[in-house]
C-alpha cells in the first residue's frame, strides 16, 4: 500500500525468511560459520543452533542452503512434530530414497537410509540432516535421531545432524534421558538479538535493498524501535512495517518516534498491556498523593519506584554520534564473464600456499584439508577481512545477477589487487559495489586437524593457546581450558574485533597465528602512500 509513496522496489520489512534480506550481524556471521563448518567437517555428531523467537534462525538456515558445497546433499525437516517412523520416512523422502510406502518398520527405513549414506560416502558426497524447530521433538524421536549417528564407516560418520530451535531446545537437551545425545554435540551456538547499533544498521540495510531512503526513520524512531523490539529482527520488521503504513496514512515523509509508539500499540500486545498498566498505576499513584503537598510528590514517587510497586520505564539508548551519509549501491558494471568459478578460484588460492593443485585446475576444501590446511567460509566487512591478512576468494554479484569469484591478493593504496585469469587492480569502492561480504580463506591450523579449541578441553592444544595469549597456568591446569583462560581469550577477541565468545574458532586461530608470525602463510601485499 505504501510502496509507491516511499518509492520502494519491494516490501522492505516482510517477515518472510528471505535470505536476500539477511542482515549479517557479528552473531549471525558466527552462527553461519558454525553451520558451514559442521557441514564441511567429517567429525559427524550434532550441531545445535538456538535463539529466541524471531532472531533469524530460519533465515540463517535458508542462507546456508544457498552456500552448500556441490558435494553436500541435505535433508530438511521444518515440521518436527512427527513420530520416529514418520521422521525417518520424511528423511528418506528428502533424500529421494525408495522404501516400502506402507512400512511401519524402523529397521526397513534405517537400512534403506544406511545403504544410501554408504553409497553417497563412496562417491565423496556428504549428507546433512537439518531439523528446524527442534525444541518440538519428542524424547522418543530424539533418541532415534541419536541412533542415526551410529551409521558410520571405520573412519567417518555418515550423517551430520544440525538441530535448530528456540532456547527451550537447550533445556531439553540437558535432560538426564538425553545425556548421551548431549555429549555428542560438537558445536553449540546461541543467536542473540541485535544491539542498538546493529538495529540501526539493520533498518537501513533493508531500506537500501528495497531502493528506499536509508534515512527514512528518524534517530528517535530507531531508538524507540530498538527499545520496543529488544533487538529481535521479526519484531523490528513488524514495527517498521506498521510505522511506514502510519506515516503513509498521515502523508509524512519520515517516520518519527510518535508514529512508532502508535505502531507498537497496534501490533505488540505486550506494548499495549504495558501502556494500560502504566496508565493504571499512574492513576493510582495520583489518587494516593492527592492529600500530599507538591513538595512531597517526588519522594513518594521515588519510594514507589524503589519498592518495585511502580514500573520504571527502560532507559533510552544513548544518542548515537553523527554518521556518514549512507550511499546507494550502484548498478553492477562488471562484465558478465568477469571472474572465475569457485573451484578455479580455490585452486589458485591453493597454489598461493604452494600446495598441490589438481590437474583439472579446479579444487575444493577437500583438497585443502588433504594438504594440511582448513577452509574458512564466512561473511564479514572489508576491514575485518583485511585484518585476517590472508589472500581470499571473494564472491561477487555481476550485472546478470550471477556469481563470479576473484582472488584478492593485496591492497595498493585505494585499489584492490585481484586475480582472475590475469592479475589486475580495481578501486576498492568499485569492488565493494559487487562484493556483499562473502569470502573464503585458507589457513594453517596450529596442529594438524585442530579447527577449534573449546572451554573444558584438556589437551596440548590448550597449552599452545596459553602460550600465544601469555596466560599462565600451573600443573595440570596448563593443559586445561579453564575459566581464567577463557577470560584471557575473550579479551584477545575484543582487542581484534572478534566475537568475544571465549571459543578459539577459525577466525580467532588465524589472528593468533598472525600474532605468532605465521611464517608459512601467504599474506596480503599492502602498499600505502605517504
Decide if pLDDT at 271 tops 60.
no
Long-range own/partner contacts, residues 179-184 (CB < 8 A, 24 or more apart):
180/146, 181/46, 181/142, 181/143, 181/145, 181/146, 184/45, 184/46, 184/146, 184/149
DSSP result, 422-486:
SEEEEEHHHHHHHEEEEEEEEE--SSTT---B-TT-BSHHHHHHHHHHT----GGGGGB--HHHH
Q: Which residues of 481-501 are buried (b: 16+ CB within 10 A; e: fewer)?
A: beeebbebbbebbeebebbbb
Work out the average pLDDT over 406-426.
90
* Chain length of the chain: 530
Decide if pLDDT at 281 tops 80.
no
344: helix, strand or coil: helix
Q: What is the predicted pLDDT for the residue at 259?
A: 94
The secondary structure of residue 73, as a DSSP letter, is: E
196 φ/ψ sector (left φ>0, alpha ψ -120 to 50, else beta): alpha
State the sign of the Cα–Cα–Cα–Cα dihedral 259, 247, 193, 327: negative
CA atoms within 13 A on the CB side of 528: 2
pLDDT band at 374 (very low <50, low <70, confident <90, very high): confident
CA atoms within 13 A on the CB side of 429: 5
Instruction: Quote the mean pLDDT of the chain.
Output: 80
Contacts of residue 394, Cβ cutoff 8 Å, sequence gap at least 6: 405, 406, 407, 408, 418, 431, 435, 438, 439
Q: What is the predicted pLDDT for the residue at 283?
A: 47
- Residues 243-252 have pLDDT tens digits of 999 999 889 9
Separation between Cα atoms, residue 347 and residue 352, nearest integer Å: 9
Assess contact for 121 and 158: CB atoms under 8 A. yes
Q: What is the predicted pLDDT for the residue at 269?
A: 59
pLDDT band at 401 (very low <50, low <70, confident <90, very high): low
Assess contact for 439 and 524: CB atoms under 8 A. no
Assess contact for 382 and 428: CB atoms under 8 A. yes
Closest CA to 423 of 525, 530, 330: 525
Q: What is the predicted pLDDT for the residue at 322?
A: 37
- Residues 191-208 have pLDDT tens digits of 888 888 889 999 999 998
Assess contact for 47 and 162: CB atoms under 8 A. yes
Decide if pLDDT at 303 tops 60.
no
pLDDT band at 321 (very low <50, low <70, confident <90, very high): very low
Q: What is the predicted pLDDT for the residue at 290?
A: 45
The secondary structure of residue 176, as a DSSP letter, is: G
Contacts of residue 259, Cβ cutoff 8 Å, sequence gap at least 6: 221, 243, 246, 247, 250, 252
- Residues 29-56 have pLDDT tens digits of 878 887 877 776 666 678 888 888 888 8
Helix (H) or strand (E) holding 416: strand 415-419
Decide if pLDDT at 287 tops 90.
no
Q: How far is CA 17 from CA 60, 92, 237, 304, 402, in A?
A: 8, 25, 11, 44, 21
- Residues 112-159 have pLDDT tens digits of 999 999 999 888 888 989 999 999 998 888 988 888 888 887 777 888
**Alpha helices (H) along 377-425:** 382-388
Amino acid at each position: 500500500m505504501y510502496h509507491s509513496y516511499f518509492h520502494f522496489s519491494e516490501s522492505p520489512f516482510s517477515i518472510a525468511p528471505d535470505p536476500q534480506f539477511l542482515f549479517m550481524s557479528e552473531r549471525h556471521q558466527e552462527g553461519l560459520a558454525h553451520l558451514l563448518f559442521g557441514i564441511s567437517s567429517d567429525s559427524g555428531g550434532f550441531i545445535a543452533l538456538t535463539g529466541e523467537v524471531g532472531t533469524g534462525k530460519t533465515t540463517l538456515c535458508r542462507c546456508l542452503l544457498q552456500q552448500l558445497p556441490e558435494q553436500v546433499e541435505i535433508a530438511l525437516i521444518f515440521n518436527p512434530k512427527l513420530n520416529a517412523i514418520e521422521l525417518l520416512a520424511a528423511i528418506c523422502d528428502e533424500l529421494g530414497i525408495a522404501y516400502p510406502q506402507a512400512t511401519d518398520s524402523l529397521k526397513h527405513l534405517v537400512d534403506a537410509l544406511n545403504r544410501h549414506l554408504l553409497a553417497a560416502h563412496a562417491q565423496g558426497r556428504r549428507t546433512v540432516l537439518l531439523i528446524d524447530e527442534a525444541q518440538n521433538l519428542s524424547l522418543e524421536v530424539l533418541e532415534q535421531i541419536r541412533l542415526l549417528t551410529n551409521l558410520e564407516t571405520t573412519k567417518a560418520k555418515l550423517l551430520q545432524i544440525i538441530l535448530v530451535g528456540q532456547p527451550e531446545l537447550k533445556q531439553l537437551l540437558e535432560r538426564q534421558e538425553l545425556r548421551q545425545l548431549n555429549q555428542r554435540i560438537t558445536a553449540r551456538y546461541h543467536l542473540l538479538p541485535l544491539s542498538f547499533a546493529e538495529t540501526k544498521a539493520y533498518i537501513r540495510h533493508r531500506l537500501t535493498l528495497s531502493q528506499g531512503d536509508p534515512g527514512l526513520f528518524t534517530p528517535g524512531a530507531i531508538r524507540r524501535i530498538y527499545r520496543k523490539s529488544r533487538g529481535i529482527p521479526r519484531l523490528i520488521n513488524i514495527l517498521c512495517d506498521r510505522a511506514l503504513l502510519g506515516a503513509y496514512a498521515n502523508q509524512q515523509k519520515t517516520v518519527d518516534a510518535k508514529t512508532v509508539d502508535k505502531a507498537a500499540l497496534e501490533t505488540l500486545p505486550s506494548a499495549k498491556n504495558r501502556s494500560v498498566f502504566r496508565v493504571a498505576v499512574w492513576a493510582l499513584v495520583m489518587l494516593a498523593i492527592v492529600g500530599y503537598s507538591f513538595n512531597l510528590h517526588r519522594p513518594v514517587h521515588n519510594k514507589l519506584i524503589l519498592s518495585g510497586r511502580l514500573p520504571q520505564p527502560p532507559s533510552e539508548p544513548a544518542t548515537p554520534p553523527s554518521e556518514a551519509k549512507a550511499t546507494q549501491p550502484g548498478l553492477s558494471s562488471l562484465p558478465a564473464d568477469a571472474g572465475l568459478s569457485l573451484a578455479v578460484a580455490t585452486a589458485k588460492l591453493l597454489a598461493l600456499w604452494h600446495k598441490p593443485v589438481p590437474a583439472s585446475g579446479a579444487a575444493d576444501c577437500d583438497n585443502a584439508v588433504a594438504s594440511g590446511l582448513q577452509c574458512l567460509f564466512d561473511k564479514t566487512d572489508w576491514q575485518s577481512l583485511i585484518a585476517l591478512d590472508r589472500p581470499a576468494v571473494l564472491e561477487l554479484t555481476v550485472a546478470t545477477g550471477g556469481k563470479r569469484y576473484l582472488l584478492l591478493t593485496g591492497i595498493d593504496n585505494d585499489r584492490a589487487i585481484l586475480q582472475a585469469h590475469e592479475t589486475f587492480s580495481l578501486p576498492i569502492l568499485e569492488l565493494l559495489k559487487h562484493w556483499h561480504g562473502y569470502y573464503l580463506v585458507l589457513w594453517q591450523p596450529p596442529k594438524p586437524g585442530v579447527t577449534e579449541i573449546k572451554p573444558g578441553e584438556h589437551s596440548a592444544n590448550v597449552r599452545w593457546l596459553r602460550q600465544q595469549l601469555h596466560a599462565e597456568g600451573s600443573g595440570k591446569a596448563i593443559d586445561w581450558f579453564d575459566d581464567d583462560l577463557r577470560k584471557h581469550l575473550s579479551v584477545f577477541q575484543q582487542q581484534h574485533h572478534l566475537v568475544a565468545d571465549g571459543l578459539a574458532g577459525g577466525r580467532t586461530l588465524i589472528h593468533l597465528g598472525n600474532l605468532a608470525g605465521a611464517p608459512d602463510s601467504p599474506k596480503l601485499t599492502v602498499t600505502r602512500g605517504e
